[in-house]
Chains A and B, each alone.
Chain A
Amino acid sequence: MSLFLHYLSLPYLVSGIWFTIEVTALGLAGGLILGLVLAAMQLSRFWLLAAFARGYTVIFRGTPLILQMVFAYDALPQVGLKLSAIGAAGLALAANEAPFIAEMLRAGVLGVDRGQVLAGQALGMTPSLLMRRIIAPQAIRTMIPAFGNETVSALKNSSLASVISVQELTLRSTQLASSTFDFFSIFFASGLIYLLLTTGVSLVQLVVERALDLDRPTTPNRFARWLPWYRAPLVVGPVVGEPVVATDEPPDNGIPYTAKDAKVSRADRTKRSVTLTRNNIAVEVNGLYKAYTNQPVLAGVDLTVRMGEVVALLGPSGSGKSTLLRCINHLEGWDAGTVKVGGRRMGFREDGKPLSPRAIAEERASVGVGMVFQQFNLFGHLTALENVAGPLRWVHGVSRGDAERRARELLERVGLSHRADALPRHLSGGQQQRVAIARAIAPNPSVLLLDEPTSALDPELVNEVLEVIRRLAVEDGLTMIISTHQLRFADEVADRVVFLSGGSIIEEGPAHEVLTSPRNPITARFLRVMEADKPTGAPA
């Protein structure tokens, strides 16, 4: 026991820790940098880069670290690269860690909900912006445990540097054992030292996990409270210059769905449709064709939508509604045909060549096509307020104060100002979809695309969302294309109904007309199936 304690405190062994830490740190830092490059290459759309990264991973994940150490130490000097022992060990460890870290990064990135990526793209975020603001912050949270693992494993693997003369803990232990013959005391001591180091890593991991936990109450700050200059916050008052948020406003779900506008007279409707035909064209789709492995999803669609017009896309599942909407803001490519928004041909340069993802993103932002998804696709790590304000700042360069003001204004409009600081996962589906609508209209898009905005909602939550959309149509005169199964809603809000089946438009016309007296038998059958929701008779 006394020998054990003697070796545990022996400066020779203790100072070996620094070499162990040095090699580990070099390995992890280098591995992180290399791993980032590898992961980026693997996720890249250029197959050659991806193939190279695959090859690297196969080699360095598939050969023992001890060989890589000896290689870095003894073989690299033959080509003129003579690193110090620690340098060679750090390089080998980094090269070995890189593929593992790259896989962690890749899993983290791919683990971020694909819908959020789509939503970010639809908001006009460039790929790098998406990575920085949406993917990375969420991926990093999920990667912390894996990274803790990797750190512990690198720390233990650093002991292999003993074969190339790095004076780390293991080498020092074996040398000491050789000269003193106190084999067991020494190895128990160095074992305990390793255990202390790895325990330290675990503690750091726990602290980081805690610090990044979104559900952790943020105020008052648990650490800041102990700092000498910390002062308890005064009662939180309203932000200067802003109206006090009404705390006694109707609670959530407090947007009653009123069908009063359904009673718009036929004369009014006719008058409105005449006005609309004089408006400029907002969206023009010509001969749009898209197929997945020879199975056409869109079989030559022509559609013209005028400014201020509300078009409801109807049709059975798989008829191409979602695909059509995604093509309009170029979230998906197509095989033939053109899409013009505000007179601009989306996705192509003036000379007809396809745009890069970055340029497409910028085009989306400048043309102004907002999109609302069936699954809401709110950014999971951001509060309701930030979901709306963030993209305004990042994509449109709006100042922090203006973005927040605009976001609060919109949240109030959708009846959610009291939930501004809530995370999406703490909101109901209907609330999430209302935030998503606020987010989509925040940059004042010229067209708003809504892809089955109520299909994922519980029946009792449908109306609050429909009411928000209805107000956008009626009060703002926003141009909208909505794919929906809500026939009554379509009848009340839409100027025109477009019926898709098998990737083609089989019937279109004034909403009430098509919905009450369809000409195409397929339309008629579909409407009969949806009978329960079908508007009956003509409104007064």
Chain B
Amino acid sequence: MPEWFSTETPTRRTSSMLAGLLGALLIAGICAPISASAAPAGCAALQAKYPAWKGKTLVNAINPHTPGYEAIDPKDPDKYVGFDIDLGEQIGECLGFKLTYKAVTFAALLTTLSSGQADIVISDIYATEERAKAADFVTYSKVFDGVLVAKGNPKKITGINTSLCGAAAAENTGYVEVPLVQDLAPKCKAEGKPEPTIQLYDNNANCIQAILAGRADTYVNDVNTVDQAVKANPDKLEKAIAVTIPYSVGIAVPKDKPEFRDAIMAALVEVQKAGIHKELLKKWDLDPNNFKEPDILSVK
């Protein structure tokens, strides 16, 4: 089992929540909704204000190839686990809905949402203006990218800059890093260097394999994902550097459901107020600096 999976002991809050859940499960046949004991205080009011989703089961489209955020549980592959999964379930608990998961490719996340095959997307997707044309976003996390390279960084890559000129970058189809790398082309040309090339893959595993197989020189993606890859292959991979990316991670919801968007936003505020968001960052060994108060990104 990969090291990253053995997280530290659950916090007191999480364990009491689990205990409450267990207890509630035992008596579920006799009485009362399960969530009552665990959900933050403000949630009851939210459920009264947004009753439409109470008791529902919604579909969350995810691209489960990002360990730490969303991936299948190696111990029980029928389950999805990760920060995004937990956060989504906390929000659901607050509003009184449950989530089921639909695994799709990264590029298909928003089309799945807009075709109505999913109700919500919580899958480490960066909220960009471009994507906001297809869905509304409730942002919840800052973005730090890591630059994954082969051990020893043979190409001396130092970030998303002209050190990438002439290098081959593996990226996922639809990732925001793709245009960032593409934008380097004129700068490389100005310096008289060859342009960087981009290899597009379907998921993290394939991008990482591309470096391991010597096909690509780098893979720029969320720093945590990069760290996980280095932990899994310490002899072959390393993180060259971490860089900030001018985006936020967001929960995507359909554009034509502003009330749902507002309910999610309000629930996220409650979850953050109760300290659950930060606890989850800790649980999944993520940088606490990722924490961000929610905003809405919506374009016409």
Binds A, one of B22-30, B111-119, B291-299: B111-119
| Complex: A163 Cα to B102 Cα, angstroms | 11
B158 to chain A, nearest CB (A): 26
Would B71 and A178 count as touching, CB distance under 8 A?
yes
Q: Is the Cβ of B115 less than 8 Å from the Cβ of A77? A: yes
CB-CB contacts below 8 Å: A483-531 with B: none
Interface string of A321-346 (1 = CB under 8 A from B): 00000000000000000000000000
Residues on B with C-beta less than 8 A from A74 are 108, 111-112, 114-115, 117
* Known A-B contacts A174-B203, A178-B71, A183-B205; A163 and B103 likewise in contact (beta carbons under 8 Å): no
A178 touches B77 (CB 8 A): no
Which of A12, A78, A164, A183 contacts B77 (CB under 8 A)? A12
Question: Of residues 154 to 198 in A, which have CB atoms within 8 Å of B's CB atoms?
Answer: 163-165, 167, 171-172, 174-181, 183
Is A178 within 8 A of B117, CB to CB?
A: no
Q: How far apart are the CA atoms of A171 and B105 in the complex, in Å?
A: 10
CB distance from B171 to the nearest CB of A (A): 15
Contact (Cβ within 8 A) B117 A73: yes
Q: Is A5 an interface residue (CB 8 A)?
A: no
For the complex, is A225 an interface residue (Cβ under 8 Å from B)? no
Do B67 and A178 touch across chains, with their CB atoms under 8 A apart? yes
Q: Interface code B46-88, partner A: CB below 8 Å = 1, 0 otherwise? A: 0000000000000001001111000111100110000000000
Contact B209–A183 (Cβ < 8 Å): yes
B202 an interface residue at 8 Å Cβ cutoff? yes
Complex CA gap A175/B76 in Å reads 12
Known: A74-B112, A174-B205, A179-B74. Contact between A163 and B104, CB under 8 A?
A: yes
Docked complex Cα distance between A74 and B118 (Å): 10
Contact B74 A178 (CB under 8 A): no
Contacts of A77 in B (CB 8 A): 115-117
The chain B residue with its CB closest to the CB of A12 is: B77
Quick one: which of B66, B72, B232 has the most chain A CB within 10 A? B72
Q: B2 at the A/B interface (Cβ < 8 Å)?
A: yes
Q: Is the pair B116, A82 in contact by a Cβ cutoff of 8 Å?
A: yes
Is residue B161 within 8 Å, beta carbon to beta carbon, of the partner chain? no
From DSSP, what is the main secondary structure of chain B's interface residues? mixed
Known: A171-B103, A175-B72. A165 touches B64 (CB 8 A): no
The answer to whether B105 and A178 have CB atoms under 8 Å apart is: no
**In the complex, A75→B114 CA distance in Å?**
10
CA distance A171 to B202 in the complex (A): 11
**B67, A179: Cβ atoms closer than 8 Å:** yes
Kindly state whether residue B233 has any CB partner on chain A within 8 Å: yes
Is A172 a contact partner of B77 (Cβ separation < 8 A)? yes
Interface residues in A, total, Cβ within 8 A: 26
Pairwise interchain contact B65-A178, C-beta atoms closer than 8 A: yes
Verify A180–B115 contact, CB threshold 8 A.
no
Docked-complex contact A181 and B112, CB < 8 angstroms: no
With a cutoff of 8 Å between Cβ atoms, the chain A residues found around residue B112 in the complex are 73-74, 165
Known: A12-B77, A165-B103. A175 touches B115 (CB 8 A): no
Most chain A CB atoms below 10 A, which of B2, B115, B205: B205
Residues of A within 8 A of B117 (CB): 73-74, 77, 82, 85, 165
Contact A178 B104 (CB under 8 A): no
With a CB–CB cut-off of 8 A, which chain A residues contact B105? 163
B90, CB-defined interface residue at 8 Å: no
- B35: min CB distance to chain A, Å: 27
Most central of A12, A171, A179 by chain B CB within 10 Å: A179
Do B205 and A163 touch across chains, with their CB atoms under 8 A apart? no
Is there a chain B Cβ closer than 8 Å to A70's Cβ? yes
B204 within 8 A of A: yes
Report how far A511 CA is from B248 CA in the complex, Å: 104
Is the CB of A10 closer than 8 A to any CB of chain B?
Answer: yes
> In the complex, A396 Cα to B150 Cα: how many Å?
82
Residue of B nearest to A177 (CB): B205
A65-77: contact bitstring with B at CB < 8 Å (1 yes, 0 no)? 0000010011101
The reply to whether B71 and A181 contact each other, CB–CB distance below 8 Å, is no
Interface residues of B (CB under 8 A from A): 2, 61, 64-67, 71-74, 77-78, 102-105, 108, 111-112, 114-117, 202-206, 208-209, 229, 232-233
Which residues in A have some Cβ–Cβ distance to B below 8 Å?
10, 12-13, 70, 73-75, 77-78, 82, 85, 163-165, 167, 171-172, 174-181, 183
A and B contact pairs by CB, cutoff 8 A, 7 listed? A74-B108, A75-B115, A165-B61, A175-B71, A176-B74, A179-B77, A181-B232
**5 extra interchain contacts, Cβ-Cβ under 8 A, other than A73-B115, A164-B108, A178-B205?**
A74-B115, A74-B117, A163-B105, A174-B202, A178-B66
